[in-house]
Amino acid sequence: MPGRFVEPEGGLSPRGPVGMSIDESGPAPPQAENVGILAAEVYFPTTYVRQEDLEKHDGVPSGKYTIGLGQQGLSFCGDREDPVSMGLTVFHQLLRRHGVSPSEVGHLQVGTESGVDGSKSLKTYLMPILEAAGNTDVEGVDCVQACYGGTAALLAAAA
């Protein structure tokens, strides 16, 4: 238990403290709560193509996608979805499903394969949800890097 150092009457010797004691009667320092990744969500568009059908269409050997990649389906966005709408959907789901108040979020890491454009991060589009609750100081960035974006965001959030 942390306490405060009480200097011995004889002072300190060249080899270190002599007869020192620790006074633990004071209050304990504050302890961090809810540290780490407490919740995560992912979103997959509902429109998809079966990988077996795609194997036939692409003229590749049967099993190249289903066995080789371990995929049964390949989802894709409809014309009414984009990275921002998917980010907003998953962020609302995360807050609602896990009972997280927007005022409690301290770090927001976004993993994506597709950004909106080169001038504005996806996190910028999600911040108004937190700002409406008075939470304007939230760490985090977008990780935009093909298939690795989600993994990079997870690793950055855990660091």
Spans of all domains in the chain: 37-158
Buried-state track 43-70, b at ≥16 Cβ within 10 A, e below 16:
beeeeeeebeebbeeeeeeeeebbeeee
What predicted TM-score, i.e. pTM, was given to this entire model? 0.69
Report d(CA 38, CA 56) in Å as an integer: 42
What are the mean pLDDT values of the chain's consecutive 10-residue runs (159 residues total)?
Answer: 53 56 72 78 91 97 96 93 92 93 92 85 95 95 91 90
CATH topology of domain 37-158: Peroxisomal Thiolase; Chain A, domain 1 (3.40.47)
Which is nearest to 127 in space by CA: 84, 82, 77? 84
| Residue among 38, 63, 54 at smallest CA distance from 158 | 38
Query: What's 34-103 look like in SS3?
Result: CCCCCCCCCCCCCCEEEHHHHHHHHCCCCCCCCCCCCCCEEECCCCCCCHHHHHHHHHHHHHHHCCCCHH
